[in-house]
Amino acid sequence: MAYETAAAPDLLLAPLPDLLTELECDLAGLTEADARRRLDQVGPNTLATARKSSLVAALLRQLTHPLALLLWVAAALAYATQGPVLGTAILTVIALNAAFALIQERHAEHAVAALRAYLPTHATVLRDGHHVVVDATAVVPGDLLVIEEGAAISADARIVEGAVEIDLSSINGESVPALRQLAGPGVVVGDRVIEATDVVLSGTTCTGGEATAVVAHTGMHTELGRIADLSSRTTRDSSPLERQVRRVAWLIAAVAVSVGIAFLPLGMLAGLSFRQASVFAIGLLVANVPEGLLPTITLALAVGVADLARRGGLIKRLSAVETLGSTDVICTDKTGTLTQNRMQVHSRWGPTGRSSPEAVGEAAALARALRACTTADPESHTGDPTELALLDAAERLARGHDVTLGARTGMFHFDPRLRLMTVLSAAPPTDARGGTTAYTKGAPEAVLERCVQAIRDDEPPVPLDANRRAALSARLEDLASQGLRLIACASRDLGAETPPTDRADVERDLTLLGFVALSDPVRDAVPDAVRRAHAAGITVHVITGDNGATAAAIARSAGIGADGEMNVVPGSELDAMPDQQLDALLARGDEIVFARSSPEDKLRIATRLQSLGHVVAMTGDGVNDAPALRRADIGIAMGQSGTDVAREAATMVLTDDDFATIIRAVESGRRVYDNVRKFILYIFAHAVPEVVPFLVFALSGGAIPLGLTVAQILMIDLGTETLPALAIGREAAEPGIMERPPRRRGENIITGSMLLRAWGILGGVSAVLVIGGFLWVLHAAGWTPGTDVGAGTPLHETYLRATTMAFAGIVACQVGTAMASRTDRVSLLRIGIFSNRLLVAGIAFELLVSGLAIYLPSAQSVLGTRALGWRELLVLVTFPVIVWGADESYRAVRRRAARPFVPAAR
C-alpha cells in the first residue's frame, strides 16, 4: 500500500484524485479501525529521537573544567614530589568528582526533558464522520486534518477545502505568513513542496483561516523530518547564571595558581625545603577547588523548574528561573488570567436600549446572529468560553422563535485591531427570497461605528441619529463600569449577487440587532496574589482588548491600580502617544489598564518598559501575541486557552491560566536564586579554614607544622561536604522573600557582601577555631614552635592527633556554616533549626563519615588520623555554635542597619 512508505515528496504535488487514490482514502476521512491499522504500519507521527550529547564528550568536559584543571596540576606536583600514593588519591578524586558532576548534569537534563509531557501536542481530524481531537503522534497518512487559527500543523498535508495563512518560518525562515488554499482546476501549485500553494507542512502554524487537508506524510517522511535528519537540533545554551559561575571558577583557578606560584619561592626563602613548599602548593590548589559547583547549581535550577511544574507553571528554559527572580513588571491579560474565564450571560439588551429584547422580531434576529457568528461547535458544545456563553444566550432567545440559518458561505475571522468578526450565511431553504446575509459581532463601539440603523420589531428599522447613539453609548458605558463584558451584533442583507470579497465592503451600512452583557468573576486567588506582587515591589499592568470601563472594574476588584480613579489608556490614545510620552507615563510607576489594545500595542509596551530598565513578564494566548511574548523577558502563555503559537513563543506556560501561578513562579524564581547563592556561600566559606593551615605553615617557615594534610582536605571536600551542600540547594523559601524589592537586572550572583560573609565571618571564625584547636592539642603535650614532630619523634603521635583535631574542627565548623547559610536575612530561629530534613540527614551522614575517618584503623593509616578523646570532642561541640552564633550576630547588625523596603503605594 502506498501509505505504508509514503516517502516520496512529489506525492504531495500529484493531482488530488491521484493523491487520494495513492493514500486509499476519500474526503469522508478514515475510520478509527483503519487509522489504528495504518498507525501500526507506518509508526507514530514523531521525529526520530535527537542524538543525545556524547557521554564521552560530557565526561571530557567535566575533566577539563577549570576547577578540575587545578586538581590535575596538584596531582602532577604530588607525583613529582610526594610519590604515587598522594598523586593517585588526587586522580581518584578527579574521577569521582567528574562522575558525580556528570550524574547530576544528566539528572538535570532529564528533569527538564520530563516537562515536555505536560505539553502534549494534539490535532483535530475527521474520523467516522466526526471531528476528533487526537494526539499528534496518532495522525496517519490518509487522515483529514482540520486546521484552524492558532493550530500547529502536525503532518504534511494537501488542502481539500478552505483557505488558511501559514507561518512557514520554521521551514524557510520567512516571517510573512503565506496563503494556502484549495487550488482550482488548472492552477499550477509549484514544482517544490514548500512552494505549493495548496500544501501545508508539519512544524508550521496556522495564523488565520480554516481548512481541511488530507495527510500525505508523517514523522520522518515530512519536510521537517528531512531537515531534522540533516542537522542536529540538540544544542543547549548555558544560562547567564551558569556563565557567571564559570567565570568565577576560572577566577578561583587563576587565584589559586597565582598564590601557589608566588608562595612556592617565598616558602623556600622562609626556610622550607622544596618538598615542604610543594606540599604547601598542592594543599593550596586542592583547598581552593569547590567540587560540584556547576552541576549542583544546574540541579538546583532543574529542581526549581520541576517543583513549579507541579504547581501549574511550566518553565521551558532553566535560565528563566533566574529572570523570574528579578521580574518587576507583569503585563497581564484580563479574561481567563485575572478572571475565571467562565462567561455567564448577565443580561440582554435590545438595539434601542431596552433591558431585554422581548419583542419577537428583535429576539429572533439577535439569536440568529449569535448562532451564525460563532467559532464554537454548538453540537459538541466545545470552544471559547465567551462563544459558548453567547450560544447559550442564543438558545434562550430562540425559544418559540424561528431562527433557522442557511449554510455558512464565508467568514472574516476576528481581527484584534478591528475588534470584529463576520460570517456570511446563505438564506435558509424556507426563505424564498434567497441571497446572503452578513452577521457581524464584536466590540460595541466598533459595531456601532459601522451601523446606520437599528432593528425595530415588525417595523422598518430606525436610523441611528446622534441622540440614539449618545443614549446607547451612555447605557453601554454604565454596564461596562460594572465589570460586564459587552458584545454587539449587527447584520446586513447582501442580496442575491456575489458577496463582496473585501472585508470593508461587507462590514458597512449595518443594522444593529442588540447587545449581550457577560460577567466573568475574578478568580478567588487573584486579589491575594496581587497584594503579594505589590509587597514584592512588582507593578501590574492590565493589557486587554476589552472595554476600558469593564477592564478597570475588574482590575479594581483584583486590587490593581490606585484606590482612587483608575488610569485607563484606550488603544486609540496609545496609538497617538509618542514614545517619549509613553515612557514618561510608564516611568511614574502607576498601574495602568491598557484597553482595546492590539497585539502591536503589547509589543510596544514591553519594548518601552525594557528600555526603562524593567524586567517584564507578559501574558498572552493568541497567535498575534507571539511577538510580545518573545520580546518580554518572561513570555507567559496560557496552557488551557492559549494557542500552540503562543505556547511555542513563550518561556513559561500556565497549565491553569491563573494569575496567582505567575506570582508563585516569581516566588519560586527568587527561592531558587537565593538557594544558589546560599550554596555558593557555603562552599566559599570552607576554603578559608582549609587554606589557612598551609599559609601558617609557609609563613612560619615550618616552625609551625602543617595543620592539615592534603588527604584530609580531599576527604572533607568529597566525603563530608557534598550532601549538606545539596540539601542547602533545596532550602524552603525564606520568610519575607516576597516582601523585598526585585533583584536588579544584571546583578552579579557573587557580591562583595557575600564574600565578606563567606571569607570574613564564616570562613574567618572557622579558621581561627581550627588553628586554635590544632595548636591547643600540640601545646597541651608540651610542643613549642620549631619543635620537630616528624615520624619517629616523641611528639609525632600528638601531631597526628592535632591534625585530626583540625580535620574534625573543619567538619564541625561545616555544620555551623550549613546552618548559618540557610538564611540570608532572617534569623535561623525563625524558620526552625530542624525544618530542612534533607540537611539534617546530610549532617548526620557527614558526622558518620568523619567518625569512621577518625576511629577506623584502616582510615587512620590512609588519612593520618588518630582517635580523639572526650576533652577534644567537648571542645569540638562548641565550634558549630560559635560559627553560627557569629554569623547570627553579623546578620542581626545588618538587619538593624538596613532600611526597610516600602513598596510604592497603590
Task: Tell me the C-alpha to C-alpha distance, in Å, between residue 332 and each of 316, 416, 498, 591.
Answer: 19, 17, 43, 11
Least reliable range by pLDDT among 259-273, 335-349, 605-619, 656-670:
259-273
pLDDT digits (tens, 9 = 90+) for 501-529: 888 899 999 999 999 988 888 888 899 99
pLDDT digits (tens, 9 = 90+) for 357-389: 555 778 888 888 998 888 777 776 666 777 888
Exposed/middle/buried for 837, CB within 10 Å: 0-12, 13-18, 19+? Answer: exposed
pLDDT digits (tens, 9 = 90+) for 116-148: 444 447 889 999 888 898 988 899 999 999 998
CB-side neighbour CA atoms (13 Å) of 462:
15
CB atoms within 10 A of CB 443: 20
**List of residues 6+ apart from 832 with CB closer than 8 A:** none
CB 623 within 8 A of CB 149: yes
CB-side neighbour CA atoms (13 Å) of 504:
0
* Integer Cα distance of 467 and 2 in angstroms: 69
CA-wise closest residue to 398 among 425, 423, 367, 422: 367
CB 809 within 8 A of CB 769: yes
φ/ψ region of 657 (left if φ > 0, alpha if ψ in -120 to 50, else beta) reads left
pLDDT reported for residue 825: 84
Look at residue 186 and tell me whether its pLDDT is greater than 80. no
Reduced DSSP (H G I as helix, E B as strand, rest coil) percent helix, strand, coil of the chain, to 5: 50, 15, 30
Read off the C-alpha cell for 9: 515528496
Q: What is the 3-state secondary structure (H, E, C) of 568-591?
A: EEEHHHHHCCCHHHHHHHHHCCCC
Torsions phi, psi for 886 (to 5 deg)? -60, -40
CB-side neighbour CA atoms (13 Å) of 509:
6
Look at residue 768 and tell me whether its pLDDT is greater than 90. yes
Read off the C-alpha cell for 257: 595558581
Three-state DSSP at 843 gives helix
C-alpha Rg value of the chain to the nearest Å: 35
CB-side neighbour CA atoms (13 Å) of 153:
40
pTM of the model: 0.69
Q: Which of 143, 333, 601, 644 is catalytic?
A: 333
CA geometry: angle 207, 210, 211, nearest 5 deg? 115
pLDDT reported for residue 276: 66
CA geometry: angle 485, 398, 476, nearest 5 deg? 25
Active site residue 333: yes
pLDDT digits (tens, 9 = 90+) for 462-476: 999 888 898 888 888
CA geometry: angle 290, 297, 630, nearest 5 deg? 145
Name the most confidently modeled range: 59-68, 301-310, 741-750, 818-827: 818-827
Look at residue 3 and tell me whether its pLDDT is greater than 80. no
Three-state DSSP at 556 gives helix
CB atoms within 10 A of CB 409: 12
pLDDT digits (tens, 9 = 90+) for 198-216: 888 887 888 777 889 999 9
Alpha carbon distance, N-terminus to C-terminus of the chain: 69
Beta strand 616-620 with 592-595: parallel, antiparallel or unpaired?
unpaired
pLDDT reported for residue 363: 84
More confident site: 661 or 103: 661
CA-wise closest residue to 331 among 759, 764, 114, 629: 629
Name the most confidently modeled range: 258-267, 288-297, 662-671, 847-856: 847-856
pLDDT digits (tens, 9 = 90+) for 557-606: 899 986 667 789 998 899 999 999 999 999 988 999 999 887 778 889 99
CA-wise closest residue to 766 among 873, 693, 844: 693
CA-wise closest residue to 441 among 362, 368, 384, 499: 368
Least reliable range by pLDDT among 678-692, 765-779, 813-827, 859-873:
678-692
* Integer Cα distance of 668 and 222 in angstroms: 40
